[in-house]
Chain A
């Protein structure tokens, strides 16, 4: 009898959820192990964390502690001056400090990228689940998505920004419009395969409503591909925003985004290469980091796709 009770207690110990602190510790150690075995992921994450910190600090009054100057401060005497102890990345055509503008540019570019990644994920998951579950919605929504995907993205983005007007919100809106179709397609594919799984059948058999199955049982399982895809869109949004800025239709010129700073340096290639050079390094590094994180997460979250596109 005593033996049976001891056995039961042992069972309870095994099956009971470990305390929160224990779970957090386990999660942290798994995350750390994953990062250690995926150096590219670690490198990408580190760069993104640094860029995010720069972006956050430049949002606060503490901005001058890292950015040194006001990004809009003009100085007629210091126009197009090369890198020096006073101006690490030189100055632009209006005597503004390129280093300070580059750091403030992180704020704009990352804000666009993060907004796009989050909005596209929310809209894509909602639409993807909807069309994966409803044939009528599938026919209507997916035809619209196919139509949107038949435009080269930058061309569509250019035309839409030209129509809607240049502003930070419109740039985000436009990139969300051009990216949503791919996300919807990815989620739809996952939903179509998930809805045939036994656990969904079990949920249905136990009387769960379709809405509950869609958002409680299926949505969480689309998370892995959505996170991977979102990191790709994060990188893409930075590039698209910069390309729109470079082509003169993106975020208004006076706001220092990386694309705008590079565009402003274009005319000074002979006398001031630094104006476009340094922001380009920040931009490329951030996009590279986001892509490395995307690739790394794909490896970690879905080892079957290792090395695949």
Chain B
């Protein structure tokens, strides 16, 4: 088991190196001169020169890479070419809303997704199964930003139950915070639950056809025990895998959701800096989010070891 864990952790290193190389190359992939692009259409040659020097784009490529890699490893992720703020400052200022949203959205997605997925599999072919499948199909097909728009229009603009946009910190006003994250959480939860439902339904369905389930039923166990103690546990691996997907869905969802609801979080930061082509921030955010995603998938892989004894062998 220790060998498996070590092997899995070591496997992450080349992936992170690749992520670093790709992130670094981003500025150099730009057609023409990245400094020109960042300076915009109205900049003079002096502005471009300043940006080029600021980012070290006038140095040889390998020196630039080593400089960048060294800084990144030391935790210096660069600073915005517009506001001058460091990535650390920007990220720490904007982390709160994103954590609130993604944690709440993730929990809601699991709370809706797993029970509905199990129900659909248990009542395979019934009206319940069909209704849940329609829900899941709609959940993966309806774009999040459009659903967000409808939620704002229906519940915030027309009924005035929730604020239309913005975010209130929980330390400032707890109930205001609940009201401000309800709609975004609902949006993330609905979209996320669709993926979980499909995965849970498929894996529980497969397990329910196994011999040991027939044996459990034959020896007279209550259906509840068969379902939750035998079937759900055996289908845990694919369901845990989906949490990796959910992490990606939530990161992506945060960018869209925070833009729809104008919430000043990390997702909105990504969207804003991409629009203004603030490359140092775009690079760092790409690196950080990819590292986070790789980390979540590593944890998911390690979680298998505890759930499924076969992986330990």
In the bound assembly, the distance between CA atoms of A177 and B22 in angstroms comes to 13
Q: Is the CB of B293 within 8 A of A159?
A: no
With beta carbons under 8 angstroms apart, the residue of A155, A162, A164 that contacts B255 is A155
Asked if A66 is at the interface (CB within 8 A of a chain B CB), the reply is: no
Chain B residues within 8 Å of chain A by Cβ, number: 57
What is the distance, in angstroms, from A152's C-beta to the closest C-beta of chain B? 4
Q: Does A37 contact B (CB under 8 A)?
A: no
Restricting to B38-95, which residues have a CB under 8 Å from any CB of A?
none
* Residue on B nearest A155 in the bound complex, by CB: B289
Enumerate A118-162 residues with CB–CB distance to B below 8 Å.
143-144, 146-148, 150-156, 158-162
CB pair B206–A247 under 8 Å, yes or no, is no
CA of A273 to CA of B152, assembled, Å:
10
Any B CB within 8 A of the CB of A300: no
Contact B15 A269 (CB under 8 A): no
Question: Of B18, B26, B153, which one neighbours A150 at CB under 8 angstroms?
Answer: B18
Q: A162-B274, A164-B29 are in contact. Are A243 and B143 (CB under 8 A)?
A: yes
**In the complex, which residue of chain A has the Cβ closest to the Cβ of B22?**
A147
Stretch from B105-113, B133-141, B176-184, B225-233 contacting the other chain: B133-141
- By the criterion CB–CB under 8 Å, are A283 and B252 in contact? no
Contact-residue size bin, chain A (C-beta under 8 Å from the other chain): 35 or more
B145 adjacent to A262 (CB under 8 Å): yes
Report yes or no: B202 in contact with A291, Cβ–Cβ below 8 A: no
> For residue A151, which residue of chain B has the nearest CB?
B290
Is B190 interfacial (CB 8 A cutoff)?
A: no
| Given A143-B14, A154-B252, residue A262 in contact with residue B149 (CB < 8 A) | yes
Q: Which residues of A contact B152 (CB under 8 A)?
A: 269
Quick one: CB contact mask for A288-303 with B, threshold 8 Å, 1 for yes?
1001100100000000
B199 CB-CB contact with A under 8 Å: yes
Chain B residues near A82: list those with CB within 8 A: none
Shortest Cβ gap from A132 to chain B (Å): 21
- Tell me whether B26 and A284 are in contact (CB under 8 A): no
CB interface residues, A 214-268, toward B, < 8 Å: 235, 239, 242-243, 246-249, 262, 265-266
Contact A291 B141 (CB under 8 A): yes
Q: Does B202 lie within 8 Å of A308, measured CB to CB?
A: yes
Do B27 and A155 touch (CB < 8 A)?
Answer: no
The digit string for B93-137, where 1 denotes a CB below 8 A from any CB of A, is 000000000000000000000000000000010000000000001
- Whether the pair B251, A280 counts as a contact (CB closer than 8 A) is no
Whether the Cβ atoms of A235 and B141 lie closer than 8 Å is yes
- Known contacts A262-B145, A273-B153; A146/B15 CB under 8 A: yes
Is B212 in contact with chain A by the CB < 8 A criterion?
Answer: no
Given contacts A246-B259, A276-B149, contact A159 B26 (CB under 8 A): yes
B69 to chain A, nearest CB (A): 16
Residues of B within 8 A of A277 (CB): 149-150, 153
Contact mask B17-47 → A, CB, 8 Å, 1/0? 0110010001101110010010000000000
Cα A283 to Cα B149 with chains together (Å): 14
Residue B187 is within 8 A (CB to CB) of chain A in the complex: no
A150 touches B149 (CB 8 A): no
Q: Please indicate the chain A residues that have their CB under 8 angstroms from the CB of B141 in the complex.
A: 235, 284, 287-288, 291
Distance A289 CA – B205 CA, assembled complex (angstroms): 24
Decide if A83 is an interface residue (CB 8 Å cutoff): no
Inter-chain contacts of B34 with A (CB < 8 A): 163
- A8 CB → nearest B CB, Å: 48
- A207 proximal to B (CB < 8 A): no
A152 touches B202 (CB 8 A): no
B242 CB, min distance to chain A CBs, angstroms: 8
Q: Is the CB of B31 within 8 A of A164?
A: yes
Closest to A161 in B: B274
Interface residues of A (CB under 8 A from B): 143-144, 146-148, 150-156, 158-165, 235, 239, 242-243, 246-249, 262, 265-266, 269-270, 273, 276-277, 280, 283-284, 287-288, 291-292, 295, 307-309
A-B contact pairs, 10 of them (CB 8 A): A147-B18, A151-B293, A155-B290, A163-B34, A242-B143, A243-B145, A262-B146, A269-B164, A273-B149, A284-B143
